[in-house]
């Protein structure tokens, strides 16, 4: 079977990390992040272009320095449930924390989205990056890495067990016999583990795709290991072609080491294409975007987010980078450790580190439509991704990609010309999980 590219859309709203000036763009409504019509419109455009999924990120902690989109945005599952009623094929992937939710409640919410959408739900499992989130849930401290990832693994396993509460034919609804439910086909979970004690069963049957698709974004060792154990879709950091190749090979190898089929884990790299009539115009526009977003105070605040929303403004900007390693242990440890190490080895000041957070790093996917398509094909053939999680600043820029790049990819046989199925699993080429109480897995057929 010919391998083809998967595409997902990640809306920016009024601007997340690094898009500090997006809310000022006259083409962006100032209420975009809380306007359900904005998301419905984007989802319909992506579905018209045959994208696999709409991806919604989330977090549960802010302060006044956080990016504009973070300050005022809709809760993902509520948002996606509304979008589901206006779409038919596109997958709906929402971010939810395994640290600050309970398995029964979250399993029920995702299963509900899966039913509402006819089998198009996906869960992006996160352990929560922001250490301040703990204070919104009555806890004095954020859990450390080991506890968060151990909890996440058990959480996913509990959710999957709950999603198997009913066998597929548990509801005969036989009026003549007076039998609505076959009780032998309803199964309690009775889970008792290190982090959770959940009786079950869930009061919701399986959807047409069996279970929501599990996504994860693993960068640290713990994150990569969790992804290899449970993820069916992975949001990868990207970086250079070589870095993307190394990440792709590592995850596929880890997946196989756990006895899983590496083809049943779809790796999506982040892509922020800039498409214009000519390569020169696209490169010029990419530089303009950087300048629009290059706000030092915002970059300094963004740096603090990796260290538990720490206020670096209290330090001398031109003094050596302060010793804040202890603040990263429970937050963004991997990225923070890299910043600390570079500051130490290169003897950087706080100002220099803050400036480096938003250095100009050109995207590989910039140029005229043919140029962008060529680069996508090159990276795909080089074994860097199964799909791209695309982010566009405006709806106009999404249209430029859809109208210019997608037809070229289709002509080359790299992207679908019609949906293969009505479910997210079907379009990703993933099997329907076996209900642990009944049958073997089967390929999703829609």
Q: Are 165 and 108 in contact (CB under 8 A)?
A: no
Half-sphere exposure of 379 (CA within 13 A, CB side): 30
For 350-386, write each residue's pLDDT tens digit.
999 988 877 788 899 999 999 999 999 999 999 999 9
Query: What are the structural domains of the chain?
Result: 6-280+364-443 (3.20.20.30), 295-357 (no CATH)
For 379-389, write each residue's pLDDT tens digit.
999 999 999 99
Is 58 labeled as ligand-binding? Answer: yes
More confident residue, 407 or 323: 407
Is 149 labeled as ligand-binding? Answer: yes
Strands 191-192 and 197-198: antiparallel
The percent of residues above 70 in pLDDT, for the chain, comes to 97
Handedness of CA 12, 16, 18, 24 (dihedral sign): positive
DSSP letter for 444, please: -
DSSP assignment of 68-129 equals HHHHS---HHHHHHHHHTT-SSSEEEEEEESSSS-HHHHHHHHHHHHHHTTS-EEEEEE--S
Q: Which helix (H) or strand (E) holds 152?
A: helix 145-163
Does residue 49 have a cis peptide bond before it, meaning omega lies within 30 degrees of 0? no
What is residue 440's predicted lDDT score, i.e. its pLDDT? 52
For 44-94, write each residue's pLDDT tens digit.
999 999 999 999 999 999 989 899 999 999 999 999 999 999 999 999 999
At residue 366, the 3 state secondary structure works out as strand
Q: Are 82 and 112 in contact (CB under 8 A)?
A: no
DSSP assignment of 278-336 equals SHHHHHHHHHHHHHHH--HHHHHHHHHHTTTS--GGGS-TTSBPP--HHHHTTSSHHHH
Compute φ and ψ for 123, nearest 5 degrees: -115, 120
240 CB burial (10 A radius; 0-12, 13-18, 19+): exposed
Is 95 labeled as ligand-binding? Answer: yes
What is residue 365's predicted lDDT score, i.e. its pLDDT? 97
Give the whole-angstrom CA distance, residue 141 versus residue 139.
6
Token output for 37: 């019509």
Cβ contacts of residue 31 below 8 Å, gap of 6+?
Answer: none
* Residues listed for the chain: 446
For 141-199, write each residue's pLDDT tens digit.
888 878 999 999 999 999 999 999 999 999 999 999 999 999 999 999 999 999 999 99
On the question of pLDDT at 329 being above 70, the answer is: no
Average pLDDT, the chain: 93
121, β-bridge pairs: 92
What is residue 446's predicted lDDT score, i.e. its pLDDT? 45
Q: Which helix (H) or strand (E) holds 407?
A: helix 406-411
Euclidean distance between the first and final Cα of the chain, in Å?
A: 18
Token output for 242: 């070589």
Q: ∠ CA(354), CA(391), CA(57), 5° rounding?
A: 75
């Amino acid at each position: 079977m010919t391998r083809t590219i998967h595409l997902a859309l990640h809306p920016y709203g009024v601007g997340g990390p690094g898009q500090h000036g997006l809310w000022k763009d006259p083409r962006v409504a100032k209420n975009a992040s809380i306007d359900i019509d904005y998301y419905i419109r984007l989802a319909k455009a992506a579905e018209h272009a045959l994208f696999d999924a709409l991806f919604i990120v989330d977090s549960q902690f802010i302060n006044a320095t956080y990016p504009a989109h973070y300050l005022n945005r809709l809760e993902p599952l509520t948002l996606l449930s509304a979008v589901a009623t206006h779409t038919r094929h596109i997958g709906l992937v929402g971010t939810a924390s395994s640290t600050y939710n309970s398995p029964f409640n979250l399993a029920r919410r995702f299963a509900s989205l899966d039913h509402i959408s006819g089998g198009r739900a996906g869960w992006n499992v996160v352990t929560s990056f922001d250490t301040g989130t703990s204070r919104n849930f009555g806890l004095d401290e954020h859990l450390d890495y080991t506890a968060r990832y151990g909890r996440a693994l058990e959480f996913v396993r509990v959710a999957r067990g709950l999603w198997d509460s009913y066998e597929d034919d548990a509801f005969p609804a036989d009026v003549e016999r007076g039998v609505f439910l076959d009780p032998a086909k309803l199964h309690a979970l009775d889970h008792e583990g290190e982090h959770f004690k959940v009786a079950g069963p869930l009061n919701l049957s399986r959807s047409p795709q069996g279970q929501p698709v599990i996504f994860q974004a693993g960068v640290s060792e713990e994150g990569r290991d969790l992804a290899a154990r449970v993820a069916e879709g992975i949001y990868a950091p990207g970086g250079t072609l070589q870095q993307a190749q190394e990440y792709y090979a590592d995850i596929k190898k880890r997946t196989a080491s756990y006895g899983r089929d590496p083809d049943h884990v779809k790796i999506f790299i982040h892509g922020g294409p800039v498409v214009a009539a000519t390569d020169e115009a696209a490169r010029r526009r990419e530089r303009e975007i950087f300048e629009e977003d290059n706000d030092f105070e915002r970059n300094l605040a963004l740096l603090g987010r990796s260290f538990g929303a720490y206020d670096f403004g209290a330090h001398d900007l031109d003094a050596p980078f302060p010793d804040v390693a202890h603040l990263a242990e429970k937050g963004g440890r991997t990225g923070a450790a890299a910043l600390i190490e570079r500051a130490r080895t290169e003897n950087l000041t706080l100002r220099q580190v803050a400036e480096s957070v938003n250095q100009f790093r050109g995207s590989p996917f910039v140029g005229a439509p043919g140029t962008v398509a060529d680069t996508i094909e090159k990276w795909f053939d080089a074994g860097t991704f199964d799909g791209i999680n695309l982010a566009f600043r405006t709806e106009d820029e999404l249209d430029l990609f859809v109208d210019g790049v997608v037809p070229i990819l289709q002509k080359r046989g790299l992207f679908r010309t019609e949906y293969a199925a009505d479910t997210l699993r079907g379009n990703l080429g993933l099997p329907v999980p076996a209900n642990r109480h009944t049958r073997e897995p089967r390929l999703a057929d829609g």
